[in-house]
Amino acid sequence: MKFVDYVTIYAKAGHGGRGCVSFRREKYIPWGGPNGGDGGYGGNIVFKADSQLNTLLDHKYRKHYAAKNGGHGMGKDMHGKDGPNLVLKVPVGTVIKDQTTDQVIADLTEDGIEVVILRGGRGGKGNAHFKSSTFQSPKFAQPGEEGQEAFLVLELKLLADVGLIGMPNAGKSTLLATISSAKPKIADYPFTTLVPNLGVVKMDNYTSFTVADIPGIIENAHIGAGLGLQFLRHAERTFLLLHLLDVSDDLEVDPVDALIKTNKELSMYSPILAGKDQIVVATKLDIAFQGRRLEKLKEHCVQNNIPLFAISAASKEGINQLISHISTLLQEVRVGKALHS
């Protein structure tokens, strides 16, 4: 299925219904008073977060939405019907912005949450409202108000505790497949992963955390090389980044060089992302017989005070240590957050 994480749409809430001009007409009451009812409210544009969805694809092909107008007021003091709300479903993690001002209007981070984004217009008052002792037969009523309208940007930012970053072929998807039940595509060519994958890691103590596997980043990604940096938005809300570096013998790239280059691309994308806690994960230990690259990487990490783990998804070496370390860190973060809230 196609993965869409950024769309712009135009939406308009319903127009309020017109107020009514009408007078009572009954046998033996030739000049009854005004009895024109009010118009109904126009329907609102509402967004709802739905955990069943994981892409904004539905909104890519349909870009115009309009909620129904309110009904017009009627005689005998009858109100027009309110227009029903138009509820648009989006995946959990969708941020809604006003395209003109770039302001965030809503951030739908919880399943089931509903937010009114554009309000329908108020219905006009019927002529019954304008009657007074000096003005007994008003022959006018208000029109309904316009509904709000806007061009909106919908941006999906996955909600994951941990983000996997690194160059293509570093072993990100393989690690995700090893520690969770996710089944990402894995292959020995660059850019196997074209869209982010999410996985849930379940620990023995019944806790769990979520991991996002993001397409690989290469040098000059910030000017569009490879798949560019567009998918990094999915790492923005993580607590922690795992920076995967291939240390196997048959590789040309130096892991320290790869670490520095990828981090440079990260800081081009966002200083917040670049400032996130990172754990360096050396991968493919089972085919790193000489260990030269790993030694060099260790030296660099010690000097720069960066935590380092070495793993092999093939032999499972180091995997348990890595995930229990992450789990402990995340529990500390969660307890800290709970204390502050």
Minimum distance from residue 182 beta carbon to Mg ion (Å): 11
Minimum distance from residue 192 beta carbon to Mg ion (Å): 5
Q: Choosing among Mg ion, ligand GTP, none, which partner's interface includes residue 190 (Cβ < 5 to 8 Å by kind)? A: ligand GTP
The C-alpha atoms of residue 139 and residue 125 are separated, in whole angstroms, by 12
Please give the residue whose beta carbon sits closest to ligand GTP in the complex: 216
Q: Choosing among Mg ion, ligand GTP, none, which partner's interface includes residue 168 (Cβ < 5 to 8 Å by kind)? A: ligand GTP
Minimum distance from residue 196 beta carbon to ligand GTP (Å): 10
Greatest pairwise CA separation for the chain in angstroms = 108
| Nearer to ligand GTP (CB atom), residue 22 or residue 283 | 283
Minimum distance from residue 190 beta carbon to ligand GTP (Å): 5
Q: Is 268 helix (H, G, I), strand (E, B) or coil?
A: helix
Q: Choosing among ligand GTP, Mg ion, none, which partner's interface includes residue 284 (Cβ < 5 to 8 Å by kind)? A: ligand GTP
| Nearer to ligand GTP (CB atom), residue 11 or residue 227 | 227
| Nearer to ligand GTP (CB atom), residue 143 or residue 168 | 168
Residues at the interface with Mg ion (CB under 5 A): 172-173, 192-193
Given a contact cutoff of 8 angstroms between Cβ atoms, the answer to whether 37 and 75 are in contact is: yes
Minimum distance from residue 88 beta carbon to ligand GTP (Å): 32
Minimum distance from residue 266 beta carbon to ligand GTP (Å): 15
| Nearer to ligand GTP (CB atom), residue 44 or residue 193 | 193
How do strand 197-202 and strand 208-213 relate by DSSP bridges? antiparallel
Q: Is 331 helix (H, G, I), strand (E, B) or coil?
A: helix
In single-letter form, the type of residue at position 156 comes to L
Minimum distance from residue 283 beta carbon to ligand GTP (Å): 5
Helix and strand tally (H, E) in the chain? 6, 14
Could you give the strand order of the β-sheet that contains 86-90, starting from the edge strand earlier in sequence?
86-90, 45-49, 114-118
Q: Is 68 helix (H, G, I), strand (E, B) or coil?
A: coil
Given a contact cutoff of 8 angstroms between Cβ atoms, the answer to whether 43 and 116 are in contact is: no
325: which DSSP letter? H
| Nearer to ligand GTP (CB atom), residue 106 or residue 285 | 285
**Torsion angle, alpha carbons of 93, 99, 102, 107, to 10:** -20
Q: What angle in degrees, to the nearest 10, is found between the helix axes of 255-269 and 292-303?
A: 50
Q: Is 301 helix (H, G, I), strand (E, B) or coil?
A: helix
Residues at the interface with ligand GTP (CB under 6 A): 166, 168-174, 186-188, 190-193, 215-216, 283-284, 286-287, 312-314
**What are the CA-CA distances from residue 16 to residues 42, 81, 130, 210, 290 (Å)?**
4, 10, 19, 45, 75
| Nearer to Mg ion (CB atom), residue 173 or residue 327 | 173
| Nearer to Mg ion (CB atom), residue 35 or residue 173 | 173
Q: Choosing among ligand GTP, Mg ion, none, which partner's interface includes residue 174 (Cβ < 5 to 8 Å by kind)? A: ligand GTP
